[in-house]
Amino acid sequence: MCLTVPCEVLRVDGATALVRRGEAQFEVSLLFTDDPVAPGDWVAVQAQRHVQARLTAEEAHDILALYARLAAMMEGDGAPHA
């Protein structure tokens, strides 16, 4: 199973886009989405290869916050206690 990760679009070049996730930048394919994508948009990227959908900035930030919370729980910094 692959999770999609919110990334910010930096540049669009035909069927590919340069995106940023944190400090990392990489090229992704736009072939799996019908949504128009432009620089400044947020997109859901699967396996650092394919854009699955365009996101609102609020959706992207909510997902990133959830992932951060899950990471903290896995590290024992807020794991639910039984």
- The residue segments making up the domain with residue 38 are 4-74
Report, as an integer, the average pLDDT of 50-54: 93
Task: Give me the half-sphere count of Cα atoms (radius 13 Å) on the Cβ side of residue 6.
Answer: 17
Q: Is the distance from CB of 20 to CB of 10 less than 8 angstroms?
A: yes
Residue 67 inside a domain? The answer is yes
Residue 81 inside a domain? The answer is no
Residue 21 inside a domain? The answer is yes
H-helix or E-strand spanning residue 52: strand 50-55
H-helix or E-strand spanning residue 3: none
Count: domains in the chain: 1
The pTM is what? 0.81
What are the tens digits of pLDDT across the range 1-24? Answer: 577 899 999 999 999 999 999 999
Res 40: pLDDT: 97
Report, as an integer, the average pLDDT of 14-43: 95
Q: What is the mean pLDDT of the chain?
A: 90
CATH of the domain at 25: 2.30.30.140
